[in-house]
Amino acid sequence: MLNPSRTVFALNPDYATVALWLEDAAHGAHVNIAGPRDGWQRITVFFPAARLTLTALEDVAPGDSFSTTMTSILSLLRKGGAAPDTLARVESSPLIISIVAEPAVPHTVFASVIPGVVEAVEGLVFDGGALKNAAGDVLAQI
């Protein structure tokens, strides 16, 4: 069991596809969508002993959660020597999806959810140590 968190940089913020994909991938777990399907603020997937929460962060104002998350991760990636085109892809993301498992979910469940979400939004995922694409290819490490 893992207690991971991930940050997804969504290049194509397709809220409805993420919601639909999560409902299909939940394997019978209850899915709660806060907000409209095409602009949700939070999706929580309730497993028997854990929950997986996805929170949408949009760039609303300087200093908001989107801005602080973007700035922090870009700084880490720059220090790690990420390529300029990789940094540009992250920086151009209009949506960040924060994914947190509490208290823990089976690794296989978490591992199956992340690539689907990343693929649905044509995004990149930061796992705290590396930036990866939906296929799991490492694009940058810190």
Instruction: Give the separation between CA 87 and CA 32, rounded to whole angstroms.
Output: 33
Partners of residue 54 on adjacent β-strands: 43, 99
Q: Name the fold adopted by 5-141.
A: TATA-Binding Protein (3.30.310)
What phi and psi, each to the nearest 5 degrees, are found at residue 8?
-105, 130
Residue with the two structure tokens 């603020």: 41
Pairing mode, if any, of strands 50-58 and 130-132? unpaired
Give φ, ψ of 120 to 5 degrees. -60, -30
Residue ranges of domains in the chain: 5-141
pLDDT tens for the 142 residues of the chain, in order: 444 789 999 999 999 999 998 888 877 889 999 999 999 999 998 877 778 899 999 999 999 999 999 999 999 999 999 999 999 999 999 999 999 888 766 666 666 788 889 999 999 999 889 999 989 899 999 8
CA nearest to 47, candidates 110, 98, 4: 110
- Residue 106: the pLDDT is 62
pTM over 0.85: yes
